[in-house]
Amino acid sequence: MVNMEELYGEEYFARRKRAFEGGAVKIFALEVLEWARGSLGFKFEGGRALDIGCAHGYVVEVLAQLGYESYGVDISPIITKGGEGFLLRASWLNLPFPPESFSLVTSFEVIEHLPNLEAAYQAVKEAFRILKPGGIFVFTTPLNHPLNKLSDKIHREHHNLLWNIEAWRVFLQHFTQTFHLNSFLFLPLARFPVKGRFHWVRLPPPLARHLMGAAIKETKLK
């Protein structure tokens, strides 16, 4: 069995230094959060927020700038080096927080790294467990696109869960009936933001390669 903590150590982040550049990550996270706010009609009203798979803590900083008491968790030892806010080394499958602790939970490009469907279900169940009633879960993930699979081989990624948008609809209905999904494509200059914008465009499947989702905790977990 693959050791997840070793897999996502310093070497993993060093090979993807450009992808994890702080400015680009922050711009992308903020734009996804703005889309989620517009889609679900909620406000950034403070409270506590958690970023799952936080790595260096860039999204944690964005959440703090939006007025939240912000936290981040990651299984990687990289979390102990740099970043601001409350950063904890922990697994998404067993979050060290009591129920209904957060108003907002985010996870950007993380869930696809989980080993199987059972782990994905447990992870999202954990996210909803720690959300307050009416709390928001926001995530992004690659879709089941041929170019994503090719890219994974070239860049030695470990994306175990690549689904289409309909599979995501069915999956999220186990947790809530109120959610929005938006399929999109990173443009070629995606990692070089110009004039404060991150270059992505909304496209329908099968053209889109990524998905952003936003869901409200409104029902009890099954």
* Residues 190-222 pLDDT 10s: 445 554 455 677 887 777 788 999 999 985 554
**What kind of fold does domain 4-216 have according to CATH?**
Rossmann fold (3.40.50)
Whether 33 contacts 66, CB under 8 Å = yes
* pLDDT value for 159: 72
* pLDDT value for 197: 53
- Residue 119 has φ and ψ, to the nearest 5°, of -65, -40
* pLDDT value for 12: 55
Mean pLDDT of 69-76: 92
* pLDDT value for 24: 78
For residue 18, what are the CA distances in angstroms to 116, 140, 157, 191? Answer: 28, 18, 15, 7
Q: Which residues make Cβ contacts (< 8 Å) with residue 79, sequence separation at least 6?
A: 54, 55, 56, 57, 72, 73, 87, 88, 89
* pLDDT value for 1: 47
Whether 104 contacts 47, CB under 8 Å = yes
Band (154; pLDDT cuts 50, 70, 90)? very low
**Domain boundaries of the chain, sorted by first residue:** 4-216
Residues listed for the chain: 222
pLDDT above 80: residue 171: yes
For residue 209, what are the CA distances in angstroms to 25, 49, 121, 159? Answer: 18, 27, 22, 13
Q: How far apart are CA 221 and CA 201, in angstroms?
A: 33
* pLDDT value for 75: 87
Secondary structure letter of residue 64 according to DSSP: H
Q: Which among 132, 110, 95, 1 is positioned nearest to 55, based on CA atoms?
A: 110
* pLDDT value for 155: 47
Q: Which among 159, 118, 131 is positioned nearest to 48, based on CA atoms?
A: 131
Whether 196 contacts 149, CB under 8 Å = no
pLDDT tens for each residue of 114-150: 989 999 999 999 999 999 999 999 999 988 755 545 4
